[in-house]
Amino acid sequence: MGDLSRYGDLFAWAPALALLLVTALLSFSRIFERNPPALGLLLLVVLWAWVEATQGFVADAGLRMLLVYLKYVVLAWIPFAWVATCLRIVGNRPWGPVLLAALGALAVAFVVLLVWDHRTGWFFSSLEFTPSGIARRTGWLHTVYMTVLFGALGAGVALLVRAGRRFSWMDGRRAKLVLAAAALPSLAGVVDLVGWMPEPRMSLVPWALFASAVLFLGAILRGRLFAPGSSAYETVVRDMADPVLVLDTTGRPVWSNEAAHRAFPSLTTGAAFDLPEIEGQVPLLRQGHEVSVRYAEREYRAKGTPAQDQRSGFEALVVVFQDVTGLKAEQTRLEALVAQRTQELVRSKEQLEAELEKSRGAQKGLERLLSEKELLLHEVNHRVKNNLQIILSLINLQTRRLAQESAAKEILAATEGRIRSINLVHELIYRTEFGAGLDFRRYLEELVKGIGALYSQVDVRVEVLPSARPVQGGVDFSVDFGLVVNELVTNAFKHGIVPAGGGLVTVALDLRGSTLVLSVRDSGKGFVPDASEGHSLGLSLVRAVLKKYRAELVVKSEGGTLVEILIPWSDA
């Protein structure tokens, strides 16, 4: 080992070097992501205690020196492990910012200490650069001072890296740059210590400090100028609203985002699972099932996705939780709403059906009434016709008991004709669709045809001229109208055709504006006024009907007799 006193200063620098070395090492590895720093801290403390306890028993000076060196290394690691543990906690706990503030205060204290040292010349200012290294005071207080000093430096650097990663302006590469910048002055110090510099008074430390400052600045600028690195995505996951848990192959949670800690306050990353609500679902999650998790009166839908880190081979199950409490509540509300609406619809349907049933009942009632009415009408019509038949039979019986060519027989024949005209109205109305008026043209045709049949002994032709538009009327008017036609046509036969021994009777019905014109023309000798006719029943009937309907009678002699009846008419 040679002259160990030469390495005394090296021991003094050792904590700082070790601290930077471990910081860099930890920055390049993911050791802290897989092993809790707290465990490392514990191991270091145990190692320290072991070294302290052992070094007194080692006789060999070289070996004892190695132990001392090891102790310093351990002592340098302890603050870093403490810082790393704190940072680990900072990322996961609500009171993390407080701890961060404490670390920041420590870094500020370091700067203040540097300034104070510069002014008092207690440590750095007392360094004396010689060709064999840097001569300076040594001692336990000095060592502690160095340890605290560089521990704080390490903590500050770690804090800076952590903050950079957290706020997405520094990814892994930039963090390494920052660490390199931090390590440069220390390396320069080592070069100075071992006396590698050709010029005794020459030191690399100021240059290293300058280069370090440049690197820091560059890292910061790059971090701001360039797009966020992979750590930005990690930040996104960490800050996302949905809880995310990363479980290792044993099912223990090794990483969780902040939402997971908020959602599951009793969750401790790295510790055994203490959330039975989730732990029980892990096998299902591994199989890719979506499971429902209830915790603290909230409901989550969780889905697990297997993942593997290609570099380290770390296998994990990433579980993302979606808080569906609100959704469930909304779903419950909607289901209740749907149930309520369904009930309302069912009620409406029942009401509609009841109303429909009522309506059907009413319709059936109406149909029954209509059917009864039709039956009644049928029966009345039958009665009327039957009674008319009885009256006609009575007239026939009476007629047969009278002498041939008697005046009474003629009267009865006229009566029979009038009764038949009335019967024809009933006959046609009966055959017409219920509620519709009587078609006069058809009525005229059948009436005139019936009268013509009575005079079959004479050569006669009967023509009914159609009207320009259909003429319809009610039963009362039709009966009156039929009586008038019967009288006029009978008269035409009696006085126009029969005496002439043959001829033509033309009956026409026409609507001229608001006047219905009925004309009966015969080809007889023409109208000859007869005093006896003025008091006949037939003419009286015609006059009565004309008066009732304010109609006019026009009689003309034009190669026979033309009788026109002008009736004021309205289709309504």
State the minimum distance, in angstroms, from the CB of residue 431 to other proteins.
8
Q: Is position 452 an interface residue for other proteins (rule: CB under 8 A)? A: no
State the minimum distance, in angstroms, from the CB of residue 424 to other proteins.
10
Query: Looking at 216-224, 447-455, 462-470, 562-570, which segment touches other proteins (CB under 8 A)?
Result: 447-455
Query: Rounded to the nearest 5 degrees, what angle is found at the Cα of 227, between the Cα atoms of 224 and 228?
Result: 85
State the minimum distance, in angstroms, from the CB of residue 348 to other proteins.
44
Note whether 567 and 515 are within 8 A (CB): yes
How far apart are alpha carbons 456 and 464 in whole angstroms?
A: 18
Reduce the secondary structure of 210-223 to three states and give it as a string. Answer: HHHHHHHHHHHHHH
Q: Is position 402 an interface residue for other proteins (rule: CB under 8 A)? A: no
State the minimum distance, in angstroms, from the CB of residue 429 to other proteins.
13
* Alpha-carbon dihedral sign for residues 541, 547, 550, 554: positive
Nearest CB to other proteins, comparing residues 335 and 374: 374
State the minimum distance, in angstroms, from the CB of residue 451 to other proteins.
11
Q: Is position 458 an interface residue for other proteins (rule: CB under 8 A)? A: no
Q: Give the one residue of 137, 289, 378, 461 binding other proteins; rule: CB under 8 A.
A: 378
DSSP per-residue string spanning 15-80: HHHHHHHHHHHHHHS-HHHHS-HHHHHHHHHHHHHHHHHHHTT---HHHHHHHHHHHHHHHHHHHH
The DSSP symbol for 571 reads: -
Q: Give the one residue of 118, 364, 382, 556 binding other proteins; rule: CB under 8 A.
A: 382
Nearest CB to other proteins, comparing residues 426 and 495: 426
Residues 6+ apart with CB under 8 A from 417: 451, 454, 486, 490
Q: What helix, strand, coil percent values describe the chain, rounded to 5?
A: 65, 15, 20
Q: Is position 456 an interface residue for other proteins (rule: CB under 8 A)? A: yes
Query: Residue 44: which region, alpha, beta or left (left: phi > 0; alpha: psi -120 to 50)?
Result: alpha
Q: Give the one residue of 397, 403, 436, 572 binding other proteins; rule: CB under 8 A.
A: 397
Q: Is position 409 an interface residue for other proteins (rule: CB under 8 A)? A: no
Q: Is position 373 an interface residue for other proteins (rule: CB under 8 A)? A: no
DSSP E strands, 48-196 = 128-130, 133-135
Query: Residue 545: which region, alpha, beta or left (left: phi > 0; alpha: psi -120 to 50)?
Result: alpha
Q: Is position 388 an interface residue for other proteins (rule: CB under 8 A)? A: yes
Q: Is position 191 an interface residue for other proteins (rule: CB under 8 A)? A: no
Q: Is position 162 an interface residue for other proteins (rule: CB under 8 A)? A: no
DSSP E strands, 158-297 = 244-247, 253-256, 290-295
Residue list 38-97, contact with other proteins (CB under 8 A): none
Q: Is position 284 an interface residue for other proteins (rule: CB under 8 A)? A: no
Q: Is position 381 an interface residue for other proteins (rule: CB under 8 A)? A: yes
Nearest CB to other proteins, comparing residues 228 and 450: 450
Residue numbers of the site for other proteins (CB under 8 A)? Answer: 378, 381-382, 385-386, 388-394, 396-397, 400, 416, 419-420, 423, 427, 430-431, 450, 453-454, 456
